[in-house]
Amino acid sequence: MVRIAQGLLTPQAQAQVQAALAPGEALAGLASWADDIRKVRPETGPWHYVDIPLNSTGLDMMRDCPKGNCVIAKIEEFRDRWRNPSVSAEGRREALLFLVHFVGDMHQPLHCVDNSDQGGNQVPVVFQGSATNLHALWDFGLLRTMRAEDELLGQLQQAITPQVVTEWSRGTVEQWAMESWRTAQTSVYGPLPAHTPDQPVQLGEGYAKMAQPVVEQQIEKAGVRLAAILNASAQ
Ligand code: ADE
Ligand code: ZN
């Protein structure tokens, strides 16, 4: 996702990103920093998601993003901080690292939905014989069954035509979250087989086949939109 974004940066945006990194440091290698600091900065936990109820008419910022403690408000906040030349170098670097991570997180559909199950974390799943949960399955379980990263990157980049860059770069962070929430309805929860709450949901090849193109497109969208934010900030 980060490498997709980097391939789409303008020279000015690329230079700003380089300037925020140490020599030899790669942005892709810093994408999980926001997860690494969660334990020592517990207040950042809710910044990774927005709980839009699965069975609702959609996002209600007052209800779903209390006190601005959600991924939508944090992307907007760190975008503004990244843009602001009067913020310290350290503050801008931190804003960049949060932005990279949160734009990725919000495109994992389960980071924009809740079904009284902590974004699927409390839904036990058996996927191809292994016990996991719905959230973890969409975080990395499905990715593991897909192609190796380098091969996948080239394939995803081919799908990113100038038309889709224009189309996906449009809209607000709130609209992007609503889109991710709808994807959770149609492609995460909708296709689940009927199950009893206390029994793990059995998922196999059929679910993986349905989900893989969805995972790929979410990664593509995240890369395009991270680039859109960084490019707009460099103008
Ligand atoms: N904890 C509570 N809701 C969550 C969600 N939607 N994603 C990740 N963690 C959560
Ligand atoms: Zn996260």
DSSP state of 194: P
CATH number for the domain spanning 198: value is 1.10.575.10
* Cβ-defined contacts of 55-58 (< 8 Å, 24+): 55/115, 58/178, 58/181
Is there an atom of ligand 1 within 6 Å of 188 CB? no
* CA 196 / ligand 2 centre spacing (Å): 29
pTM (2 decimals)?
A: 0.94
Residues bordering ligand 2, an ion, CB closer than 5 Å: 48, 105
Give the structural domain span for 90: 2-233
User: Is the C-beta atom of 64 inside 6 A of ligand 1?
Assistant: no
Q: Whose CA is nearest to atom 10 of ligand 1?
A: 118
| 8 A C-beta contact, residue 1 and residue 218 | no
**Does residue 201 line the site of ligand 1, with CB under 6 A?**
no
Q: Encode the chain (235 residues) as per-residue pLDDT tens digits.
A: 999 999 999 999 999 999 999 888 989 889 999 999 999 999 999 999 999 999 999 999 999 999 999 999 999 999 999 999 999 999 999 999 999 999 999 999 999 999 999 999 999 999 998 999 999 999 988 887 887 777 888 888 888 999 999 999 999 999 999 999 999 999 999 999 988 877 999 999 999 999 999 999 999 999 999 999 999 999 8
Q: What is the number of domains present in the chain?
A: 1
Assess whether the C-beta atom of 118 lies below 6 angstroms from ligand 1: yes
**Pocket lining: 111 vs ligand 1, CB cutoff 6 Å:** yes
Render the burial of 158-168: b for 16+ CB within 10 Å, e for the rest. Answer: eebeeeebeeb
Q: Say how far apart CA 189 and CA 226 lie, in whole Å.
A: 26
Say what the alpha-carbon torsion angle 144, 207, 179, 231 is, to the nearest 10 degrees: 20
